[in-house]
Amino acid sequence: MAELMREDAAIDDCWNRIGVRGDSSCPELRTHVRCLNCPTYASDAMQLLDRAAASQDLAREWAESARAAEREVDAKDFGHHASALVFRIGEEWLALATGVVQEVADARPVHTLPHQRNRAIAGVLNIRGALRICVSLAQLFQIGGAAAKDAAKHLLVAMHEGQTLVFPVDEVAGVHRYDADAVAAVPTTLAHASTQYTRGLLDWCGHKVGLLDHGLLFYALNRSMT
């Protein structure tokens, strides 16, 4: 038991202090969005699972901790306080609810689809061994100054109602927490193509950020692909 306690003490539960279950100050959240995607979290999980004396109990505890963290993150998007991942495409700053974002991945080749008429459908690419549809929000929203799909620096992997889509983005700023009541209405005079998919505007670091309506966005893209 003493040996087990010494090993337990070596585990740094950073996810409870500076991760999604803490104050979200960890700089790695900018890259991984969720603690579950972080190599540090995975490494500590392996240490726990490798312990022979109480490996099954610890594995169950770890799994429950992971599920609790996910529930807490998702709940923040539906309560009084919410959070969103802020990113840039070309000249436009946008945000997507953190409950939808699965991970931020490095750019990789996109394979075009033959006879695809929808210019917003960039093609397919490999994410963790699975082929996912890549959607160009730059094309869909007609955003100026956006990098070509093969030149985008990051890939934002999002999932809604069981469907996963990948969006190339030029810059990922990180997670922004905000008061749900502080979301401003989109001005009727705003003529951007993205406004029909925008729930409202957020104030962030001197920028007006369009908070995307992910439900409507996924619905419209599904309609266009059928």
The closest alpha carbon to 198, from 179, 213, 216, 183, belongs to 213
Residue range of the domain that includes 111 = 81-225
And the tokens for 134?
Answer: 């890549």
- Quick check: 51 pLDDT over 70? no
Closest Cα partner for 105 from 152, 146, 156, 37? Answer: 156
User: Between 98 and 44, where is the model more confident?
Assistant: 98
Q: How confident is the model at residue 64 (pLDDT cuts 50, 70, 90)?
A: low
Q: Could you identify the residue written with the tokens 């999980």?
A: 45
Domain-ending residue, one of 20, 52, 76: 76
CA distance 18 to 28: 10
Q: Is the domain of 92 the same as that of 176?
A: yes
Residues 112 and 152 in one domain: yes
86 and 72 belong to one structural domain = no
pLDDT tens, position by position, 104-136: 999 999 998 887 778 889 999 999 999 999 999
Please compute the mean of the pLDDT values over residues 158-165 and round it to a whole number.
Answer: 94
pLDDT interval class at 16 (50, 70, 90): confident
What is the reported pLDDT for 1?
A: 37
Say if residue 15's pLDDT is above 90: no
Same domain, 71 and 136: no
My answer on whether 154 and 219 are in the same domain is: yes
Give yes or no: residues 151 and 47 share one domain: no
Domain limit, last residue, from 39, 57, 76 = 76
Residue 49 pLDDT level (bands cut at 50, 70, 90): very low
Residue with more model confidence, 222 or 225: 222
200, 122: one domain: yes
pLDDT at 165 over 90: yes
Query: What count of other Cβ atoms lies within 10 Å of the Cβ of residue 192?
Result: 14
Q: Give the total number of structural domains in the chain.
A: 2
Q: CA–CA separation, 103 vs 82, rounded Å? A: 18
Lowest mean per-residue pLDDT among 72-86, 102-116, 193-207: 72-86
